[in-house]
Amino acid sequence: MTEPMNEREARKQYVRSRQTVVFTFIGAVMAAAMVISLLFYTGAIGSVEHKAIAVQPNFGVTAPCAPKSQDGNEATYANNADVTMRVLNGTKFSGFAKAVGDALENRNFRISTIDTFTRQNVTRTTIYFGKAAIPQAYTVASNFTDARMVMDDRGDKLIDVVVGATFNDLRTQKSVPAAGAKITNFSTCKPVDQMGTLPKAIAHDPVN
């Protein structure tokens, strides 16, 4: 028996409408995927997240773990007054190092020199120190939001702070660990004896 023409036509229209919905949905999904892929490719997406990660303390650099004392106690943050440092401007902005140096001096750090770094295109604020001043370096780093710690081959306790373009401001003093508190190591730190060959220190007069 032949189906009435109107019923068959209705079924055809129903099938066509379903196909149209499905193809439209698939097309929209594919178009959205292409747009998102293009945004990732051009860096419009992901760059903000990457920048946020990139300014996290010690991103991309391995710092030494703070060694325990001879009696086996955990290393602690030093008194600011016992830390001597140079503050060097690694940016093109005149007076940047002085502003940072004055702020650190107001926190009782001993500032021996405020000067210009040999390079003025430093991105990340960097703290240079030697094996003899690891607790002191952690103490300085705790005052910064963007600084990375780089141990070099210097034998004294002088610390160099090279102010980079990512510097915004020091942490509030209330958020900085107190002297004598246990040092919080970076999760990626290595024991001092596993740090390998150290970079050559920036030229400076020895400080005990």
Task: Give the pLDDT mean for 8-31.
Answer: 66
Tell me, yes or no, if the pTM score tops 0.85: no
SS (H, E, C) 41-87: HHCCCCHHHHHHHHCCCCCCCCCECCCCCCCCCCCECCCHHHCEEEE
Q: What is the pLDDT of residue 119?
A: 80
Q: Are 195 and 151 in contact (CB under 8 A)?
A: yes
Residues 137-149 have pLDDT tens digits of 999 999 999 899 9
Q: Compute the mean pLDDT over every residue in the chain, rounded to the nearest whole number.
A: 81
C-alpha to C-alpha distance for 180 and 158, rounded to whole angstroms: 20
At 36 the pLDDT is 52
CA distance 136 to 149: 11
Is the pLDDT confidence value at 108 over 80? Answer: yes
Which among 160, 88, 167 is positioned nearest to 124, based on CA atoms? 167
pLDDT tens digits along 72-82: 889 999 999 99
Average pLDDT value for residue range 3-15: 63
